[in-house]
């Protein structure tokens, strides 16, 4: 049961998130859209506010004390993120606008430098558009071939033909956890298979880094991308981790200030990592906010968060199937150990857009639509689904509120 974890004090965690005390029309907020974007704890809000009130200044380019202090906070946050995912060095942490930009950086920099006509990139049927469209853009430009790992009937990647699919592949780029199905993929195994076939492994870890302990070295990946705003940090910030030797060999992505060591009329030389990939003034306050977010998540304990979400998954699956039986179809694995607490579902034939509108009457916030994974939606035979996603601050009370609100939707349609 959720809450049985003695190291996990749900009430205390909820108090850390001021928005969860917000009421709309006199009713509490039931926020079940964290796979989309997570809410922010006080420590993040305060760190950003304190920085902007007391220390705001440019980084990496001015000698005065205020700027030096700002740079120290910014780089301190980079160190915190590096430690959080067990990177070898903070030089391997590149800050981007979002995870989408991190993937675009890889396709444009590594992809353009290493892929030519006829080269093969392997993706999966569960990818987010951010891990599909940039490759398709390169395909249009360069004529690379895209191959796809299909799904099994129980919403896992079908790995029976993986070796064949990987034959001749240069890049295997895949999600660590489906943002639609909740399926957790065997990342270590997939990275090892990619390497055995001579391919590099890129992991879109947006849905797993916020929810479970991530050790990029243990995963064996070459590149890992994730987003700040899904892990209690601010929006406008993504992270690219890459093995140093690969990042060093890559050409720059965006050009401009901060990313150069020298510019002449006849050319330029790049700055060292990670500045090479951080052209222009970065999201300074946001990076400092993310530093606070990883401090917060670490203090709660990623293993505790994962245990809480397994318990939540177990509770939600039992609740929805017991209460609604065949009236609800959950598109995702039934085993809580094999999934995150993200549930896409169809309910009594009610269109997800209508469903989310009615749930909103009870302040139950769920996503409705294709979740930026249209190819996957087509494969599971849905134009759209409703999606309820749970995080460390959600409790069984939220799940019960969802179930009650679903019942009220039937009254209208």
Partner 1 sequence: MPGIEDLYREIILDHYRTPRNRGELQPPAISSEGHNPLCGDDIRIYLDVADGVVRDVKFSGQGCSISQSSTSMMTVAIKGKTVVEVGAFVRRFKHMMTLADNDEPVDESINLGDIEALQGVVKFPVRIKCATLGWNTLLEALTESTK
Any alpha helices (H) in 51-108, and if so which ranges?
65-84, 99-105
Report the C-alpha gap between 42 and 17 in whole angstroms: 6
Q: Residues 239, 106, 87, 336: is their CA dihedral positive or negative? A: positive
353 touches partner 1 (CB under 8 A): yes
N residues, the chain? 413
- The first and second tokens of residue 325, run together, are 């039986």
CB 181 to partner 1: min, Å: 16
The answer to whether 383 contacts partner 1 (rule: CB under 8 A) is: yes
Least distance in Å: CB of 13 to partner 1?
Answer: 28
User: How many alpha carbons lie under 13 Å from residue 85 in its C-beta half-sphere?
Assistant: 33
Sites for partner 1 among residues 121-140 (CB under 8 A): none
Report the 10 Å Cβ neighbour count for 18: 13
- Selected from 352, 366, 398, 401, the binder of partner 1 by CB under 8 A is 352
- Cα–Cα distance measured from residue 317 to residue 59, given in angstroms and rounded to the nearest whole number: 48
Under the binding rule (CB under 8 A), the answer on residue 331 touching partner 1 is: no
Binding mask 9-48 for partner 1 (x = CB under 8 A): ---------------xx-----------------------
Spot the catalytic one: 191, 206, 365, 372: 372
Single out the segment in contact with partner 1 by CB under 8 A; choices: 165-173, 259-267, 325-333, 366-374: 366-374
Q: Is 191 marked active-site?
A: no
Decide if residue 358 touches partner 1 (CB under 8 A): yes
Contacts of 268 (CB under 8 A, 6+ apart): 255, 260, 262
Is residue 354 involved in binding partner 1 (CB under 8 A)?
Answer: yes
Is 146:139 a contact under the CB 8 Å cutoff? yes
Within 10 A of 375 (CB to CB), how many other CB atoms are there? 15
Q: Which of 368, 388, 392, 399 binds partner 1 (CB under 8 A)?
A: 368
* Interface with partner 1 (CB under 8 A), residue from 68, 117, 154, 413: 413
- The residues annotated with a catalytic role in the active site are 372
Q: Which residues sit at the interface with partner 1, rule CB under 8 A?
A: 24-25, 351-354, 357-358, 361, 368-370, 374, 377, 383-384, 412-413
């Amino acid at each position: 049961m959720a809450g049985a974890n003695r190291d996990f004090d749900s009430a205390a965690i909820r108090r850390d998130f001021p928005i969860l005390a917000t009421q709309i029309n006199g009713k509490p907020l039931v926020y079940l859209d964290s796979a989309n974007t997570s809410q922010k704890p006080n420590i993040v809000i305060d760190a950003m506010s304190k920085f902007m009130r007391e220390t705001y200044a440019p980084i990496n380019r001015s000698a005065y004390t205020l700027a030096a202090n700002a740079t120290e906070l910014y780089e301190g946050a980079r160190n915190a993120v590096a430690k959080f995912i067990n990177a070898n060095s903070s030089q391997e942490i590149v800050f981007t606008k979002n995870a989408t930009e991190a993937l675009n950086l890889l396709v444009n920099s590594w992809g353009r430098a290493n892929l030519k006509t006829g080269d093969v990139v392997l993706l999966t049927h569960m990818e987010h558009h951010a891990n599909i469209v940039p490759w398709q853009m390169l395909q249009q430009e360069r004529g690379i071939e895209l191959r796809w790992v299909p799904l099994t009937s129980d919403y896992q990647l079908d790995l029976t033909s993986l070796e064949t699919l990987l034959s001749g592949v240069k890049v295997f780029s895949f999600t660590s956890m489906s943002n639609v199905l909740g399926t957790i993929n065997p990342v270590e195994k997939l990275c090892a298979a990619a390497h055995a076939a001579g391919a590099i492994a890129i992991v879109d870890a947006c849905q797993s880094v916020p929810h479970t302990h991530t050790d990029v070295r243990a995963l064996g990946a070459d590149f890992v991308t994730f987003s700040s705003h899904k892990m209690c940090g601010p929006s406008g910030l993504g992270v690219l981790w890459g093995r140093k030797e690969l990042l060093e060999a890559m050409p720059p992505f965006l050009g401009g200030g901060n990313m150069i060591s020298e510019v002449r009329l006849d050319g330029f030389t790049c700055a060292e990592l990670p500045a090479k990939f951080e052209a222009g003034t970065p999201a300074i306050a946001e990076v400092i906010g993310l530093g606070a977010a990883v401090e917060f998540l670490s203090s709660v304990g990623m293993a505790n968060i994962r245990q809480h979400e397994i318990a939540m998954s177990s509770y939600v699956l039992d609740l929805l199937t017991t209460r609604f039986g065949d009236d609800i179809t959950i598109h995702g694995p039934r085993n809580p150990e094999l999934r995150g607490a993200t549930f896409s579902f169809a309910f009594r034939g009610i269109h997800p857009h209508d469903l989310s509108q009615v749930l909103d009457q009870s302040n139950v916030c769920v996503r409705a639509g294709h979740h930026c994974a249209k190819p996957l939606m087509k494969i599971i035979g849905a134009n759209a689904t409703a999606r309820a996603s749970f995080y460390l601050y959600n409790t069984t009370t939220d799940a019960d509120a969802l179930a009650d609100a679903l019942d009220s939707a039937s009254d209208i349609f």
